[in-house]
Amino acid sequence: MLYAPLHPDPALPPVRINLYSDTQTRPTAAMKAAMVEAEVGDEQAGLDPTVNALCERMASLLGKEAAMFLPSGTMCNQIAIITHCRPGDEILAHGTSHILTSEGGGAAALAGAQITPLPGPGGQFDAAAVRAALRPRTRNAPPQALLEVEQTANAGGGTIWPLAVLNEVAAIAQEAGLATHMDGARLMNAVVATGIPAREMAAGYDSVWLDFTKGLGAPLGAVLAGSRDFIDAAWKWKQRMGGAMRQAGICAAACLYALDHHVDRLAEDHDNAKALARGLAQIPGLTVEAPETNLVFFDTRGTGLTAAELYARVRSHGVNFSISSTHRGRACTHLDVTRAQIDEALQVIRAALA
């Protein structure tokens, strides 16, 4: 099997402490109750009151004129790209961006656009990198149509783009005639960590989306926002790509519940990530990147093991984390991980390396 996900190995014990990803969160009992009680209608016809309420709230939160509800963040990115770009266009994005590394070549396959990777530490590029990538419009070069940023930068370590840099790179791009797009998968992590409102972070961006299935704990759903004209055009692609739904208020209710109850608590995840990073740094052989939000990256080279070999040892004790590269592991704190579980995970990792 190359593409279909494999079922868990039945010989392994159940996962007790799941640091694999904040996508592993499960809806709470109260969230499920909100879903059951949701008022619903035909979302595709604009008749679902819960979806409509979510989109109105998200447009306001993100400082945009309009918004649309979609099943996933990847669909948000791809619909945004295909709305902003035409076949042959060029997108400027960081070399570790999700749209480049983790969406199956969607920009090329669906929009016919190519992504030019920009360099920079921590999953971020600066004004100089943008200026260096811009070029005169000629018949020989692909038209440069879109600049994309990811807040927070996942592969960069969950780093937070400074507001001044976000504004500067967006202004340079727009002056050159490019549209701007923010992948806001973990935008609320950045908001909670900095105290800067989401609308301020997204002010320089023509489109932006927020994922509800990561730290916010909903079972599915993301919201893409932009101008009324942008969202109107994006609806054509929402329909074509199968993102137009029916009684989607059941899912939108989980997102509304998350906005009411799961945003401020992201600070707890950040504190747990710092505690995990401190503990990992005390284990001989591990080199740890200081976390800014809820993602903790660590290098295993000093232990003599690959990340996969360390994973195999701790997974046999019910602890799960993800593997970023040969020697780079990633642990993610979230709604379903307590401080006590952080302490227990550290004990398991210490024992695995003893």
pLDDT in tens, the chain (354 residues): 789 998 989 999 999 999 999 999 999 999 999 999 999 999 999 999 999 999 999 999 999 999 999 999 999 999 999 999 999 999 999 999 999 999 999 999 999 999 999 999 999 999 999 999 999 999 999 999 999 999 999 999 999 999 999 999 999 999 999 999 999 999 999 999 999 999 999 999 999 999 999 999 999 999 999 999 999 999 999 999 999 999 999 999 999 999 999 999 999 999 999 999 999 999 999 999 999 999 999 999 999 999 999 999 999 999 999 999 999 999 999 999 999 999 999 999 999 999
Distance CA 23, CA 86 (A): 31
Buried b (16+ CB within 10 A) or exposed e, 8-47: eeeeeeeeebbbbbbebbebbeebeebbeebebbebbeee
At a CB cut-off of 8 Å and minimum separation 6, what does 14 contact?
A: 318
In the numeric block, which tokens belong to residue 251? 């899912």
Distance CA(221)–CA(87), nearest Å, equals 28
What is the CB neighbour count within 10 angstroms for residue 208? 30
Whether the Cβ atoms of residue 254 and residue 27 lie closer than 8 Å to each other? yes
H helix or E strand, kind and range, residue 132? helix 127-133
With tokens 């996933």, the residue in question is 72
Q: Which tens digits make up the pLDDT trace of 78-109? A: 999 999 999 999 999 999 999 999 999 999 99
**Token couple for 314:** 């701790």
Measured CA to CA, the distance from residue 22 to residue 24 in angstroms comes to 5
**Is 120:144 a contact under the CB 8 Å cutoff?**
no
Decide if 155 contacts 291 (C-beta within 8 A). Answer: no
Kindly report the pTM of this predicted structure. 0.97
- For residues 251 and 271, what is the distance between their CA atoms, to the nearest angstrom? 29
Q: Residue 7: count other Cβ atoms within 10 Å of its Cβ.
A: 6
